[in-house]
A and B are shown apart, each in its own frame.
Chain A
Amino acid sequence: MMITMKMAVRNIARRKVRSLITILGVAIGISAVVGVSSVAKGLQHDIRVAIGGSASLIVKSKTAPDPLSSALDQSVEEKVRRVPGVQRTVAVWFNNRVVTIGNRRTPIMIAAVEGGQYDFVVGSKVQPIRGRLPRDGEAALGSLVWNQMRPRVGDPVDLSGVRLRLAGEFRTSSQLANMCMITTLNSVKPLRGNGISCVFVQTRDPRRVKREIERRVPGVEAIETSKAVHNMVNSLRTVEVAGLVLSCIAGLVGGLGVANTMLMSVLERRREIGVMKAVGATKARVMKVFLMESLLISLAGGALGCLIGTAGTYALVQVIQKFKGKPITVCVTPDVILEGFLVAAGIGVLSGLYPAWKAAKVDPVKALRHE
């Protein structure tokens, strides 16, 4: 085993330029796979964090497609709270408004959370990185909007005539949340009247309590956050798969390169194959020797592709952020890297099969004939 491995490595090393070009071909395909996957993973992460937090149900109006566009009367919260099994409720009002700070105006998504229980609504920890989280009469900006507006803590914030004090800047691991302004439900009372968007509910038994709420409170629908996350992540996965299929085509081109290199190698090493057979190698063994080589080339391409893909994706995100101001979360998780290596291994085996089969079929007598 060690010896066949040495043979493979030395054969690759012996034809440096050819091997390098082949490895690069695979690396380009794998870097596309890694890039697409890490961006898709980033989006999934954003959704997980943006929806839900520690709440297990979100109560919204039956007619609204999602919690952001839902509109309810705040009396609904009281009714929901009385449903058996409900442990905690937090009412939230979402609204898209033009916000004025100093002489800068920009439309921002506002999330007004009852009692300032931000962590309950947002999936990840809401961390103040400047000033503090807002109390009644205050507001805070997500890091991305903060960078855009460049205000100072304590600046007056004008929300269609309602004046709040800017309490600080916050950050969460969700780029979507980082684009919002947060405040308390009381702070925006003049804007919303008795209206709220939805109610976040904590319960130990979401499935039963969901049915109870929908039975007792007319005109509402309760969504299980785990399910909502699941559904959105699933629909994203379709996009991810489509992207992966596209990048696998890039991988296929790399695979053709490997197949070509291996075929040349088989042609050049016919005599060596004859020798292997003469000293007792079975066809299967000869195949293994060549498959090992194509696998090594592809895995080297995989490693390089993971590096290029990771570095390239981060670089691309930086560029996009700079020119378009649009943030993109990128998650290069271990399974993204694993995926890259698996695709590389797949390329190695698939593209090595035909050359290896050709090698196994070499007639030792012809290969060993005197020249």
Chain B
Amino acid sequence: MTDPVIELENVRKVYDSGSTRVEALKGVNLRVRRGEFLMVVGPSGSGKSTLLHIMGALDTPTSGRVRIAGREISRLSDRELARIRSRYVGFVFQEFNLIETLTALENVMFPMTLAGREDEELAKRLLLKVGLSEEHFDKFPNQLSGGERQRVAIARALANDPEVILADEPTGQLDTRNSRRIIKVFRRLSDEGKTVVVVTHDLSLIEWADRVIVLRDGQIVEEGSPEEVSP
């Protein structure tokens, strides 16, 4: 449990868009341990999404060091970063972000295609695993409900058997019942050995996590077990 899969050291991120300068992260130190279920909570605008993007090599820090799978990402090429996103991490988003022109099954197979190993049987198993029934496999995203879409998105994140699942407000557009179902899927994945990082502003979900960090104004202000952090 001491082996970190993702390691952030004094990470700062500044967005400079002409007139406005936003400091999204102000020196974050964080180690994500192998197999843990980590939840990052905080109000909107606290830098949660930025943190998640940097953890998944989708964004790069303005300063500080990020090590993913033991590799310093500032030294990696576009190709190598893409490889990390393809094989080592799996993203799940609030807006599901499925590709509209692909069916549920094809959406799960898409990352496999990018990695050069399409496996339809595996894609079907993953969809069943996250609780999507077979009748939905050939439907397009706009024919599915929010909960169903998020299941497809989770199956897609699992497509290339990544070490880490990174989820950005995965329950943000779901009702309470569906939120619980989805968070249970993450809990189960974590129990099976996957490292899971979920970013959320919904404090009712933290009971499912192993560890919680609270982010405010780009800084970690609190860290501990769900019981310790609970207000």
Interface readout for B103-115 with A: 1 if CB under 8 Å, 0 if not? 0001001110111
Is the Cβ of B102 less than 8 Å from the Cβ of A3? yes
The size bracket of the interface on A is: 20 to 34
Is the Cβ of B78 less than 8 Å from the Cβ of A283? yes
Is the Cβ of B93 less than 8 Å from the Cβ of A7? no
- Of all chain A residues, the one with the shortest Cβ separation from B94 is A370
Q: How far is the CA of A231 from the CA of B62 in the complex (A)?
A: 68
- CB neighbours of B79 from chain A (8 A): 282, 284
Would you call A234 an interface residue if the criterion is a C-beta within 8 Å of the partner chain's C-beta atoms? no
Is the Cβ of A280 less than 8 Å from the Cβ of B95? no
Q: How far is the CA of A282 from the CA of B76 in the complex (A)?
A: 13
- CB neighbours of A100 from chain B (8 A): none
Please give the distance in Å from B208's CB to the nearest CB on chain A: 23
- CB neighbours of A369 from chain B (8 A): 49
Is the Cβ of B97 less than 8 Å from the Cβ of A275? yes
Q: How far is the CA of A369 from the CA of B169 in the complex (A)?
A: 12
Is the Cβ of A279 less than 8 Å from the Cβ of B86? yes
Is the Cβ of A3 less than 8 Å from the Cβ of B106? yes
Is the Cβ of A10 less than 8 Å from the Cβ of B101? yes
Q: How far is the CA of A271 from the CA of B99 in the complex (A)?
A: 9
Please give the distance in Å from B145's CB to the nearest CB on chain A: 20
Main secondary structure, interface of A, reads helix
Is the Cβ of B59 less than 8 Å from the Cβ of A280? no
Is the Cβ of A277 less than 8 Å from the Cβ of B95? no
Interface readout for B9-49 with A: 1 if CB under 8 Å, 0 if not? 00000000000000000000000000000000000000001
Interface hits, A214-260 → B, CB 8 Å: none
Would you call A11 an interface residue if the criterion is a C-beta within 8 Å of the partner chain's C-beta atoms? yes
Would you call A98 an interface residue if the criterion is a C-beta within 8 Å of the partner chain's C-beta atoms? no
Would you call A14 an interface residue if the criterion is a C-beta within 8 Å of the partner chain's C-beta atoms? yes
- Of all chain B residues, the one with the shortest Cβ separation from A364 is B58
Residue in B97, B102, B157 whose beta carbon sits within 8 Å of that of A7 in the complex? B102
Is the Cβ of B109 less than 8 Å from the Cβ of A3? yes
Would you call B186 an interface residue if the criterion is a C-beta within 8 Å of the partner chain's C-beta atoms? no
- Of all chain A residues, the one with the shortest Cβ separation from B98 is A275
- CB neighbours of A274 from chain B (8 A): 97
Q: How many residues of B contact A (CB 8 A)?
A: 37
Q: How far is the CA of A280 from the CA of B112 in the complex (A)?
A: 9
Is the Cβ of A281 less than 8 Å from the Cβ of B99? no
Would you call B53 an interface residue if the criterion is a C-beta within 8 Å of the partner chain's C-beta atoms? yes
Is the Cβ of A281 less than 8 Å from the Cβ of B114? yes
Interface readout for B169-183 with A: 1 if CB under 8 Å, 0 if not? 100000000000000
Please give the distance in Å from A235's CB to the nearest CB on chain B: 52
Please give the distance in Å from B65's CB to the nearest CB on chain A: 19
- Of all chain A residues, the one with the shortest Cβ separation from B84 is A280
Name, among A6, A279, A282, the residue most crowded by chain B CB atoms within 10 Å (CB to CB): A279
Is the Cβ of B111 less than 8 Å from the Cβ of A279? yes
Is the Cβ of B85 less than 8 Å from the Cβ of A278? yes
Please give the distance in Å from A363's CB to the nearest CB on chain B: 9
Would you call A17 an interface residue if the criterion is a C-beta within 8 Å of the partner chain's C-beta atoms? no
Please give the distance in Å from B119's CB to the nearest CB on chain A: 12
Would you call A64 an interface residue if the criterion is a C-beta within 8 Å of the partner chain's C-beta atoms? no
Is the Cβ of B106 less than 8 Å from the Cβ of A280? no
Would you call A272 an interface residue if the criterion is a C-beta within 8 Å of the partner chain's C-beta atoms? yes
Is the Cβ of B101 less than 8 Å from the Cβ of A7? yes
Would you call A285 an interface residue if the criterion is a C-beta within 8 Å of the partner chain's C-beta atoms? yes
Please give the distance in Å from B111's CB to the nearest CB on chain A: 4
Is the Cβ of A6 less than 8 Å from the Cβ of B106? yes
Is the Cβ of B106 less than 8 Å from the Cβ of A282? no
Please give the distance in Å from B28's CB to the nearest CB on chain A: 16
Q: How far is the CA of A2 from the CA of B87 in the complex (A)?
A: 20
Interface readout for B53-90 with A: 1 if CB under 8 Å, 0 if not? 10010110000000000000000001100110111001
Q: How far is the CA of A274 from the CA of B159 in the complex (A)?
A: 18
Would you call B100 an interface residue if the criterion is a C-beta within 8 Å of the partner chain's C-beta atoms? yes
Q: How far is the CA of A278 from the CA of B91 in the complex (A)?
A: 7
Is the Cβ of A11 less than 8 Å from the Cβ of B91? no
Is the Cβ of B99 less than 8 Å from the Cβ of A275? yes
- CB neighbours of B118 from chain A (8 A): 2-3
Interface hits, B131-190 → A, CB 8 Å: 156-157, 159-160, 169
- CB neighbours of A281 from chain B (8 A): 82, 86, 114
Q: How far is the CA of A278 from the CA of B96 in the complex (A)?
A: 12
Residue in A6, A280, A365, A371 whose beta carbon sits within 8 Å of that of B102 in the complex? A6
Is the Cβ of B78 less than 8 Å from the Cβ of A282? yes
Is the Cβ of B101 less than 8 Å from the Cβ of A365? no
Please give the distance in Å from B130's CB to the nearest CB on chain A: 16
Could you name 24 residue pairs across A and B whose Cβ atoms are closer than 8 Å? A2-B118, A3-B110, A3-B113, A3-B118, A10-B101, A10-B102, A272-B99, A275-B98, A276-B110, A276-B114, A278-B91, A279-B86, A279-B90, A279-B110, A279-B111, A279-B114, A280-B111, A280-B160, A281-B82, A281-B114, A282-B82, A285-B114, A370-B94, A370-B169
Please report B residues at the A interface, Cβ cutoff 8 Å: 49-50, 53, 56, 58-59, 78-79, 82-83, 85-87, 90-91, 93-95, 97-102, 106, 109-111, 113-115, 118, 156-157, 159-160, 169
Q: Known A-B contacts: A278-B91, A280-B160, A281-B82. Give 16 more (CB < 8 A).
A: A6-B101, A6-B102, A271-B95, A276-B99, A276-B110, A277-B58, A278-B97, A280-B83, A280-B115, A281-B86, A282-B79, A284-B79, A285-B82, A285-B114, A365-B53, A370-B94
Please report A residues at the B interface, Cβ cutoff 8 Å: 1-4, 6-7, 10-11, 14, 271-272, 274-285, 364-365, 368-371
The list of the 3 closest CB pairs from A to B, nearest first, reads A280-B86, A10-B101, A282-B82
